Amino acid sequence: PGLEQGLDTRLRMGAAASVSGEDLELEAFVAAKTAYDALEDKSDNAATMRAVKEAYVSKLKPATAPTKRNIFILFGPPAAGKGTHGPRLAELFSIPTLSTGDMLRAAVAEGSEIGKQAESIMQAGGLVSDEIVAGCIKERIAKDDCGKGFILDGFPRTVEQAKALDEMLNATSEAVSQVIALEVPDEVLVERITGRWIHKESGRSYHVKFSPPKSLQEGMTPSAETMLDDETGQPLMQRQDDTEEALTKRLANYHSQTVPILSHYEPTGAVRKVNANQDMEEVWKEVNSGLPSSA
């Protein structure tokens, strides 16, 4: 009876005059009184007090606001430097870089419903639809390692895909934080692409002009004999599509379908254009200067 009388008195006082700063406490007393009234057996004073106290304290704890995720789109043409700056961005924010190819392969390996759909299409030699890619991304970004955010590399490639991404994020009251657009003139990209050699097993990348292996001495002609991996001494190789002809087609597709994505996101203020035609460290400084806090 004493406990019930005390709760009733406090509630009447709170109802008569809501004092600034005491609304939370009043809610706590309401919760305590509700818990008290819900108890059928009040004979155990210790148990009754414990139930009332738990209800009271639970209301005094401030609600924890959901953590805002950092959601980046790493944007740029082939050889713009996404493979260089993406890992640094991922390390800075402790978030994963997600590529559509990796996500599709992972979904297939996991045997998810989306993975099964993608596998049947890929085995038939078809192109995976935007709907399946979006579903794959939706599954992936729900995993624990994306709790702080994630970086999308290679998606979206069209305005339609960007709209699908926006709709997906809007369902959880989220939006793209930044679109980091690495900009390089086409003629520079040709030089970067055609001079690129890679070590197939490790993925290490070299360039005959900008980052040659130790085996390529001055005056030598780049070849399988002169382009050797620094760590293993194994021959390097050039990708089949690392040619001027292939790049010309890829750039035409990039400018016609992918570049309009910037116009889609510019009204939101998310787009940051970075001059990627400069020293690698200078590019990173420019990228880093406009990033949100990583704390």
DSSP letter string, 141-167: TTSGGGSSEEEEES---SHHHHHHHHH
Q: For 84-98, how does the pLDDT look when each residue is reduced to its tens digit (9 = 90+)?
A: 898 899 999 999 999
Check residue 67 and give its pLDDT: 66
Candidate from 206-215, 239-248, 263-272 with smallest mean pLDDT: 239-248
> Lowest-pLDDT range, 131-135, 184-188, 275-279?
131-135
More confident residue, 201 or 189: 189
State the average pLDDT over residues 65-70: 74
Give residue-wise pLDDT tens across range 264-291.
Answer: 999 999 999 999 999 989 999 999 998 9
Please state the φ and ψ torsions of residue 223, each to the nearest 5 degrees. -160, 175
- What pLDDT score was predicted for residue 243? 86
Residue 10 annotated in active site = no
Check pLDDT > 80 for residue 46: no
pLDDT at 20 over 70: no
Look up residue 203 and give its two tokens: 């993925």
Can you give the pLDDT at residue 3? 58
| pLDDT of 188 | 92
Mean pLDDT calculated for residue range 184-197: 90
* Residue 272 among the catalytic residues: no
Handedness of CA 133, 134, 136, 141 (dihedral sign): positive
User: How confident is residue 21, by pLDDT bands cut at 50, 70 and 90?
Assistant: very low
From the options 3.40.50.300, 3.40.47.10, 3.40.190.10, 3.40.50.12160, give the CATH code of 61-290: 3.40.50.300
Of 138, 148, 250, 272, which one is the catalytic site residue?
250
Reply yes or no: is the peptide bond before residue 156 cis, omega within 30 of 0.
yes
278, 202, 132, 150 alpha-carbon torsion, rounded to 10°: -50
Give mean pLDDT, residues 5-19.
54
Residue 8 pLDDT more than 80?
no
Catalytic residue list contains 250: yes
Residue 19 has pLDDT above 50, yes or no: no
pLDDT at 41 over 60: yes
Position 74 pLDDT exceeds 90 = yes
Among the listed residues 50, 53, 88, 239, the single catalytic one is 239
**Cβ atoms 62, 36 nearer than 8 A:** no
Instruction: State residue 270's pLDDT score.
Output: 94
**82 catalytically annotated:** yes
* Number of CB atoms found within 10 A of residue 95's CB: 21
Of residues 76 and 126, more confidence is placed in 76
Of 33, 69, 192, 196, catalytic: 196
Nearest in space to 75 (alpha carbons), one of 261, 285, 289: 261
pLDDT in tens, 159-178: 999 999 999 999 999 999 99
Res 124: pLDDT: 82
Helix axes 45-60, 2-16, angle to 10 degrees: 20
Mean model confidence pLDDT for the chain: 84
Is pLDDT above 70 for 62?
Answer: no
Q: Which range among 120-129, 130-139, 208-217 shows the weakest confidence by mean pLDDT?
A: 120-129
Amino acid (one-letter) located at 217: Q
Length of the chain: 295
Exactly one of 10, 42, 157, 273 is catalytic; name it. Answer: 157
